[in-house]
Structure 1
């Protein structure tokens, strides 16, 4: 295969994957936007000031409701930490915001199977418990104080503007009435467009990397790397190797699902897939952001704790799912087998593209276009607390 053919094959694989997951992505971000538009969060952020089970549960719930791309989640976690949330609660929020979200669950079900979606919502809380326990053991007061001092310096990140925007509907009233009001629809369009703008780069990058892997990396090579023919070694090494691949792939959020499908087809263990998916918060660019936000010692602690927790969660979920018969026997990820044709996927893609187009039109007609500029830095005056 010459280089030109290799590029074309990689792009074709990426295009097929993108078309297969397009409607679930739009649906996931739409549901996320609806929740963010009508659920006020400032009333419960004060409950994140401790490390009690209740505080961590609130942090996880708030994170899941504030579905974000990894970069925005990291920026928002820093903002919550600066406003009084405990360091552990901020990290739990971060994990939930990228790994316990509806769009990831939908994409996993379409691309890999419902078993992976179930595993996400079971292994995610397991990872959170491990993180909380390890921070209780190893997080020293002087590290927290140094991290807070560094965070209070106001160093801006690439997603600081997005994280600082509160665009939810003000006031009380029935859920549907607030959602279907002019303010509710406008807020929904704002969250939908802003979340897409934040994560689009990672989705495209993830598809390109997964397309190149699928087209160019021999399946036999992956099976050797993951010891696919030795179940014991595959179980032991999968959750350790998975996060390391994520770290160097530079892909985060839902953008790593196509590559997870390639790794699953290539022979990585079930637990290895889950640990890979959870590792979106320790990719190299985000580790550098941690260092800028909290200092070197805190960054190293976060990296070590997260790695151990996601590997441990991978082991636990495979140990639980295997005897229950919930680990898929076949390795034929739907997202890798699909081709673009006139089937239900195409019709759903078209339908949801129409919905996305309508929200995009509403976004710009409401005068929200300047908000996109605020994603590169601190929110512009009037945007940080903008009312729909």
Structure 2
């Protein structure tokens, strides 16, 4: 038992270590957007929700944070500053499926097939989601969510000021640095409990759940015609209960793959990092219960459909990889690689922003 507990804690620490720098990056981008991008500029760029706006949001997401928690914070900022919901969600899907670092980790742990399927599947996700939203979204729900008063500590943020200024002028303005620091600190205060729970639960599952459980859960011995659709539904459900964000769930995806889950089931699990329970709760705080429920339903259907499409395509092309996967040593690798140096930089940036925020706390008038 002691060995398993030690293993669970080591896995949790390893998953946090692999994703820590991307969290700082994502929350930093969100804080900067809040501080320098005025609502009218965001409205002009992404307000209409057409193909051009969806494509622009997809590109922006692919260049953004790879952590679902941090990306959700950025998406919230975009939507509440006037971006169309479909464009905001396209950004969210792209930032958690099309980023380079996520593909690299998938390549190292699961092989190039999963890397390619994640990237192509990300585009499929955005296409399916866009069609579902355009067919089903009530306009009243958009207005309600955009003006929802957020609850919970750290939910107020400083927006851009100075009408007529360019974003470059706002970026170099004396107060921008302090505003970014305050917004960054507030994001951490809002989500740190969710993050901590996610990594601990992920470590516990990897240590205490044997492969035989996964083989039974994912219908390993069933024909592919039964296994594939069942796994496309089971994958997101497992993801919802494991709490781990996009890069952090790759090690668990490797555990599922080695344990017998189908190719599409593992992909559905990877796609579903956006509907883990802490994130659904964050959507509730950001937008209210109705929008959180709508997003959760649309996301679940989208992820299951995309996983089935990719399962069928890769099976037809004979590209489904072997199951020879070993991930524990890789996840708990604390060597002097690029992750080590990125985390050192991220820790320094986070401490600097936190210190700056403490030196200039937000007043009641600035909250308003």
| TM, length-normalised to structure 1 | 0.72
CA change 1:34–1:87 in 2 (3 A) is closer
Q: Are the aligned partners of 2:117 and 2:310 in contact in 1 as well (CA < 8 Å)? A: yes
RMSD: 4.3
CA change 1:261–1:148 in 2 (3 A) is same
Structure-2 residue corresponding to 1:178 = none
Structure-1 residue corresponding to 2:276 = 283
Structure-1 residue corresponding to 2:80 = 82
> What pairs up with 1:209-288 in 2 under 5 angstroms?
209-232=201-224, 233-288=226-281
CA–CA distance in structure 1, aligned partners of residues 28 and 283 of structure 2:
30
Identify the match of residue 116 of structure 1 among 114, 117, 122: 114
CA drift of 1:200 comes to: 7.5
CA–CA distance in structure 1, aligned partners of residues 160 and 354 of structure 2:
12
Q: Deviations over 1:7-31 (max 9, x none)?
A: 234335556x54xx95x65786799
CA–CA distance in structure 1, aligned partners of residues 186 and 114 of structure 2:
24
Q: Are the aligned partners of 2:214 and 2:256 in contact in 1 as well (CA < 8 Å)? A: yes
CA drift of 1:245 comes to: 0.9
Q: Deviations over 1:337-380 (max 9, x none)?
A: 55968xxx7242xx653454355446656x66234899xxx977
Q: Are the aligned partners of 1:80 and 1:90 in contact in 2 as well (CA < 8 Å)? A: yes
Identify the match of residue 143 of structure 2 among 148, 153, 156: 148
CA drift of 1:153 comes to: 3.9
> What pairs up with 1:113-192 in 2 under 5 angstroms?
113-140=111-138, 144-156=139-151, 160=155, 171=168
CA change 1:195–1:330 in 2 (3 A) is farther
Q: Are the aligned partners of 2:201 and 2:243 in contact in 1 as well (CA < 8 Å)? A: no
Q: Deviations over 1:211-233 (max 9, x none)?
A: 33333222122111111122412
Q: Are the aligned partners of 2:198 and 2:244 in contact in 1 as well (CA < 8 Å)? A: yes
CA drift of 1:105 comes to: 1.9
CA drift of 1:234 comes to: 2.1
Q: Deviations over 1:276-317 (max 9, x none)?
A: 112122222332333344343333322211101000010111
**Corresponding position: 1:369 with 2:360:** no
25-34 or 234-243: bigger deviation: 25-34
Structure-2 residue corresponding to 1:294 = 287
CA–CA distance in structure 1, aligned partners of residues 330 and 263 of structure 2:
22
Identify the match of residue 97 of structure 1 among 95, 98, 123: 95
CA–CA distance in structure 1, aligned partners of residues 29 and 287 of structure 2:
30
Structure-2 residue corresponding to 1:180 = none
CA change 1:27–1:106 in 2 (3 A) is farther
Q: Are the aligned partners of 1:239 and 1:311 in contact in 2 as well (CA < 8 Å)? A: yes
149-158 or 224-233: bigger deviation: 149-158
Q: Are the aligned partners of 2:145 and 2:291 in contact in 1 as well (CA < 8 Å)? A: no
CA–CA distance in structure 2, aligned partners of residues 49 and 373 of structure 1:
36
CA–CA distance in structure 1, aligned partners of residues 262 and 290 of structure 2:
32
CA drift of 1:323 comes to: 2.6
Q: Deviations over 1:219-262 (max 9, x none)?
A: 12211111112241221211100101111222223222222221
CA–CA distance in structure 1, aligned partners of residues 32 and 140 of structure 2:
35
CA drift of 1:78 comes to: 3.0
CA drift of 1:149 comes to: 3.0
Task: Return 5+ residue gaps in structure 1 as ranges.
Answer: 173-185
CA change 1:196–1:86 in 2 (3 A) is closer
> What pairs up with 1:33-44 in 2 under 5 angstroms?
none
CA–CA distance in structure 1, aligned partners of residues 69 and 336 of structure 2:
32
Structure-1 residue corresponding to 2:344 = 357
Aligned length: 351
CA–CA distance in structure 1, aligned partners of residues 109 and 154 of structure 2:
28
Q: Are the aligned partners of 1:239 and 1:312 in contact in 2 as well (CA < 8 Å)? A: yes
Task: Return 5+ residue gaps in structure 2 as ranges.
Answer: 170-176
Q: Are the aligned partners of 2:67 and 2:245 in contact in 1 as well (CA < 8 Å)? A: yes
